[in-house]
Structure 1
Amino acid sequence: MFPAMTLELTRSSGSSKYEVRGFGRREGALYLIVRLHESMDFSLRKGWGKTFQLTDNTGKKYLYNSVSLPNAVEIHDTFVDLPNDIRARQTVLAGGYRDLVLIFPEFSKDATPVSLLVIEDFLGNSPANPGITYEEARIEKTGEVREIRPVMAMSPGKKSYQGSGTAGDGTTFKLKQVIIDQSVQWQISLEVSAHRQTVITLNDAVLVDEGGANYNLVQKDEVQTVNLKENGTEILNLSFEPLPATVEKMVLWLQYTTAAGMPNEVRFEISQAG
């Protein structure tokens, strides 16, 4: 998930939504450590959306490719002569945070980063792009360095976890299975049940580790629904981005809407069985 390197620590100012915590270099690339404190959406629809822009001390600008975000999904559309859609919403629950490692592969070895912006972007470099800046964080080195060990993802295979929770509307979610696939994404199956017939539509889901770090849903389907019969059980399958191998237990948070349009949420602990 993250290689070993020497990290130059930084402080940043100007944005309450995110901060730049440090940067390192490896094989000609700059690795920028960004901590999100609020949700942000870097999805692109037909090429339009938001992205990060890094500026160095010479004034050179570097655009980040949103498809490289850890939960980004590219949606192909062969019938439209425009860039593909990208789903890449970054969800941060209240009181938690989300760490991103932004990699800029051709960053000058003699330059240093001085600001990180969130700007309006169009993949086709359209001259009509007004270049709106939504957020800006100014970056300052602290003079401290830290040696970072590699962060390894949890290895593929079927894992033994347990947990369940009931939302305020009486819908129950019980963990059935966790499989980490060959791309080290988490494939979670939930048994969903209710005492009445209803349809629920999933809005978002997040895994939260013991330290408050948030790991996001990889949303392959634009809309995911579960049709529940009275006292029946259905399966809800979720995909999440990779988690570090050091995480032992976590909380699963789900937000969904009922057929009546009422928003609901549930959170419950997931721990290793036995």
Structure 2
Amino acid sequence: MKDTFARLLPQRLRSGTVTIPVVRLQGAILAGGGALRPQLSLAATAGILEKAFSHSAPAVAIAVNSPGGSPVQARLIYRRIRDLATEKKKKVLVYVEDVAASGGYMIALAGDEIIADPSSIVGSIGVVSAGFGFHEMIRKIGVERRVHTAGRNKAILDPFQPERKEDVERLKALQLEIHEMFIGLVKERRGSKLADDPDLFTGAFWTGGRGLELGLVDGLGDMRSHLKSRFGEKTRLKLIGQPRGLFGRRLPLFAAGAQAADIAAAATDGILTALEEQALWRRFGL
């Protein structure tokens, strides 16, 4: 009779069952959010993080699969996870899938433990800026670029004007400042676990196996196996999705009154975002 009653209870209420909320952070880290192609940013993740940490569980599991992107958004996501972990008094367990590199690794640092697959890619602790110069092209096709500014640095690094040495030096100074912040965060979170390796903060990246030797991760494995070994064989994983609307439905892609121009702009933005995201993934051969 007792066994029959236990089977009628929801799984989360059965004796010995632990339910761990799971959040998936997937994709390039880009500011804002498009209607056609959602981006990994604080605005896009805040709701599911709040929901995950509201569960009565001893820990929150976070799957990270990101090649990086905006350092600002990466740090904001990292900070929100750590703030919620402190507020709710929960452990954060991060599981690296294909890649947690650059800003993706910065987010992974929010974990009290980081577990990677032996073939995962981790690291890339550096800062990069990339673009194109079109000034020779527009000269050849007979286009004159006219720029008028108030402030001599307002048009810095304009891709339609020749690159200036002082502009590049200013950019590199900004990059160094962000890089130092990133290095400080890695040292703060990983501490004495880090190996003494001269390539650690050069922007290089490694497999999960080598990352374990370097102290960038704490172990090798997969989420389900690791959580079951940690909390018992009856451990249940609950994927946390995006918050739903008033009637239990996710908001539609476009509001009913959306204009054709809005839809076209969103489509163009989605294409550009997709190209930017593909460029980030391909840095790691993915």
TM-score, normalised to structure 2, is: 0.19
Task: Specify which structure has the higher proportion of strand.
Answer: 1
Q: RCO (CA 8 Å, sep 6+): is it higher in 1 or 2?
A: 2
User: Which of the pair has more CA radius of gyration?
Assistant: 2
Task: Specify which structure has the higher proportion of helix.
Answer: 2
